Amino acid sequence: MKDFLILNKLKKFYLPLSFAIIVFVFLLILVSDIYIKKIIDKDRIFPSSLIISTEAKFPVLKTEFIPFISAQGAVIMDADSKTVLFAKNPQLRFSPASTTKIMTALTALEYFKPGDILTVKSARSDGVVLGLKQNEKMTFENLLYALLLPSANDAALAISENYPGGEVAFVNKMNENAKKFNLFNTHYQDPAGLLDDGDYTTPVDLARLTSVAIKNPEFAKVVSTKSKIISDISGFNTYSLSNLNKLLGINGVYGVKTGYTEEAGQVLVTSKLENGHAIILIVMLSEDRFLDTERLLNLVTNNISYLSIRP
């Protein structure tokens, strides 16, 4: 009888306790479920409300073959997508020689207007020069033609010396722009590309730079010009300019820039229009830059398909 009373008391004690434990466990599961849902919702990626109507175009070669070229570095790049269609030592550093002037032109175009009057502060006689005289005055636009067509080193110096802070500040700005354009294997020591020890870039960096440059209307206009006569502001000193790019106007080529030093070898940057798309071709440290570029042109002419990449 005594055991029965004890058992009865235990039942009266444990039943409410068991019920309380069940309720507590249920509430704990409920709270945990709510908490977990909040964490999941916080990290969930919801569909974008932005409707993208355009389709990305991804270029591929219809037929692939390896052209024989003497150039130690080369790249073919689609300017819009930055897709590399062909490469030979694309990340190897080379001296850019006068293709440095692509960055010189872009840097100058950020600051000068075409009609700005620049003064020749010091004449330069090394390498290819226009023959500018000290204190001669010329518009920036005319100096830009002199810089990019015959690749006049004295035009590069005149432009840089008229920049606030002079040549040193101008070259610093060129290197700032290299970082801005994500050209991490590119460095400039002078605006003309004469200092092979301090000027360097890679074929892929040079292609990326060119893809930026050809989008500048003033730059594109100048590099697509075969010849031009310019003068200083007095009109007494005139200069006849010829573009050094022999391929200009052939097979869709509309630019861009030649370069040469003994260390750099022959360098050529080319822009070609292929089915409405800009294609950049780079050859560096070449024995025959025009022949090498013609062989690269054969690789891409009527040989690129653009695939639609849907978002």
Catalytic residue ranges: 98, 101, 151
Cα gap 122→132, rounded to integer Å: 9
Long-range (24+ apart) CB contacts under 8 A made by 219-222 are 219/105, 219/106, 219/109, 219/148, 220/254, 220/255, 222/105, 222/144, 222/145, 222/148, 222/149
* H or E element at residue 157: helix 153-161
Going by C-alpha positions, the residue among 244, 241, 285 that lies closest to residue 261 is 285
Q: Which two tokens stand for residue 48?
A: 């974008």
The residues pairing with 56 across neighbouring beta strands, listed in sequence order, are: 309
Label residue 270 left, alpha or beta by phi (over 0 means left) and psi (-120 to 50 means alpha).
beta
